[in-house]
Structure 1
Amino acid sequence: MSEGIKDHSGLPEAAARSRASVLRSRAESYIALSRHDAAIADLTESIALMPDSARAWRLRGESHRLIERYEAALEDFGEALKLEPDSAYALGSRGQSYAAMGRLEEAMADFEHALTLSPDAPWILEAKADVLVDLDRLDEALAEHGKIISLNEDLPYSWVARGDLYQRMNLYEEAIDDYARALEADPEYARALSRRGEALRMVDRYAEALTDLNRALELDPDNDRALGSRAAVLSELDDNEGALKDLDRAIELDPEYIWAYRVRGEILQELDRHEAAVADFTLALRLEFGD
């Protein structure tokens, strides 16, 4: 037994259940504070005192999932589901664990079951959409995003999520429309501005792209992806020095930003700075393919 932790297994049943309940409640606050090891300690004791609490098993599973202890999470969600077979929360969270482990078909089975129990749960719909994308079932993923938006059209994140999928599918005009809807709800949503700027760049609307990306970086100066996108726009507008400055900063923020190394290498090549270009292309190859 860990030093400082008392054995309460001999408590009368009413006292044991009372202590287990308080521990479980404290664990929920620890989870809200991202203090997952503390939550797991409380929930482990709570489960020892009151092993028939599906909620305690489910919460401990969620704590394990959030710190990427996926096997432990699966075990806990399994115990929770033995006690409450129709818990949409446990099924959805177990599905997220399966998805993180690349066990996509098992994840889909859990999401489908969870949605029969709670068909309007946006987080489960979104998790299912993400797995459909990983399975390259993009049209089905779009349909799930449509369901999420229909539940609440005022949530900017939902529009951005579908816009990102449209962009992945090279449907840039549709993506631009979705980012615009997000910005109607929240005009200072830096991610929406950044992503719309990137979509505008892809359809050669460089002046509009630059406006969006400048504003995104005013709101979020350390957004490495926005810096990379603005660099590409500046390069198209023949401002290679400005582009290099943005790429240098983007790589400083994320030393494994493969696309930034590739774009910087291309700009350096165009400027006849071939040694530096070779270094960037070599880094890009090493990061992406292990060369």
Structure 2
Amino acid sequence: MSEGIKDAAELPDAAAQSRASVLRSRAESYIALSRYDAAIADLTESIALVPDNARAWRLRGESHRVIERYEAALEDFDEALKLEPDSAYALGSRGQTYAAMGRLDEAMTDFEHALTLSPDSLWILEAKADVLVDLDRLDEALEEHAKIIALNEDLPYSWAARGDLYQRMHLYAEAIEDYTKALEANPAYVRALSRRGEAYRMIDRYEEALADLSRAVELDPENDRAYGSRGAVLSELGDNEAALSDLNRAIELDPEYIWAFRVRGEILQEMDRHEEAISDFTRALHLEFGD
């Protein structure tokens, strides 16, 4: 971390420029290590030394955004854009900040501007698709995902992201197809295995669901969602004891996993363990509604 901010007046211009440049570079390494407060300290000094460097404002804005200091992030991105009005990076990052604050229309404006400057930017396309989902413009979101996949069909994340959207739309066959594409690119992709298992569960293909979810748990023993989904599958297959074991594990990993409490309560109810069922339903109501 920088050892006391140097006043620009104390340094000749060339020295100030040199020090600010090194501070910006060190900040980038701090950011790569997720040491955002250290990065912000370096960038703050760098800006004090050289206020007209857009990169410093962008990097500090991004650091503020990642640690959810959204108002500070907006101020920094605004400054960056005064210096570089056509920075797709700053526009995209400011759009992400607006989205995190629920200011979705402003986010869309920034994303659309950014994409006129950098139409093949995957991360901005993904951010725009997410906002379209939040705006319930799901067909338009699908169009953005199609663009993302067309740009690089080898990225498993892109297939899985569209699969998640299909699943949200209850288009389970399409979701399964996309998750399968993701797994062809990366057979050990836990997210795709877990989500495909859930999609199989939703269309009552329990054996296939069980295989996917078991593989997901094998690869990631702390995947609470995979345990929860597998618990529901095991219950459908008639093995309530194994189902309870999985749901217990899911809740142990995430004590606020509302859906797992509800499913475990239903299984306990089916087993005539009504006091325990009431406890789980009560916990689910408290978590979801504050009862």
| Alignment TM-score, normalising by the size of structure 2 | 0.98
Structure 2 distance, partners of 1:135, 1:289, is 24
Deviations 1:184-243 (A, max 9, x none): 111111111111100001111101110111111110111000001100100000111111
Q: How far is 1:246 from its partner? A: 0.5
Give the distance between the partners of 1:165 and 1:142, measured in 2 at CA.
8
1:72-127 Cα distance to aligned partner (Å, 9 max, x none)? 00000000000000000000000000000001101011001000100010000000
Distance of 2:2 and 2:219 partners within structure 1? 48
Q: Count residues in correspondence.
A: 290
Q: CA RMSD in A?
A: 1.1
Distance 1:276 1:175, change over 3 A: same
Shift of 1:158: 0.3
User: Hey, what's the Cα distance between the residues in 2 that align with 1:7 and 1:35?
Assistant: 21
Aligned partners of 2:28, 2:178: CA distance in 1, in Å?
35
Match of 1:82 in 2: 82
> 1:4: Cα distance to partner?
4.5
> What CA distance in whole angstroms lies between the structure 2 residues aligned with 1:230 and 1:3?
50
Task: Output aligned runs, 1:62-77, within 5 Å.
Answer: 62-77=62-77
> Which residue in the other structure is 2:4 paired with?
5
Structure 2 counterparts to residues 11-50 of structure 1, below 5 A = 11-50=11-50
Q: Is the 8 A contact 2:175 2:196 kept in 1?
A: yes
Offset of residue 289 of structure 1? 1.0
Query: Where does 1:1-291 land on structure 2 (aligned, <5 Å)?
Result: 4-9=3-8, 10-291=10-291
Deviation at 1:3, TM superposition (A): 10
Q: Following TM superposition, by how much is the alpha carbon of 1:6 offset from its aligned partner in structure 2, in angstroms?
A: 5.0
Quote the Cα distance in structure 2 between the aligned partners of 1:154 and 1:283.
43
Matched residue SS, 1:42: helix
- d(CA) in 2 for partners of 1:123, 1:68: 19
Contact 2:7 2:48 in 1 (8 A): no
Q: Aligned equivalents of 1:7 and 1:206: distance in 2?
A: 64
Q: Any stretches of 5+ residues in structure 1 without a counterpart?
A: none
Task: List per-residue Cα deviations over 1:133-177 (Å, max 9, x = no partner).
Answer: 000000000110000000000000000000000000000000000
Name the CA distance, whole Å, in 2 between partners of 1:172 and 1:245.
27
Gaps of 5+ in 2: none
Normalised by the size of structure 1, how large is the TM-score? 0.98
User: How far 1:8 moved relative to its partner?
Assistant: 3.8
Once residues 132 and 282 of structure 2 are traced to their aligned partners in structure 1, the CA distance between those partners, rounded to angstroms, is 33
Quote how far apart the aligned CAs of 1:7 are: 2.9
State the distance in 1 between where 2:72 and 2:7 align.
Answer: 24
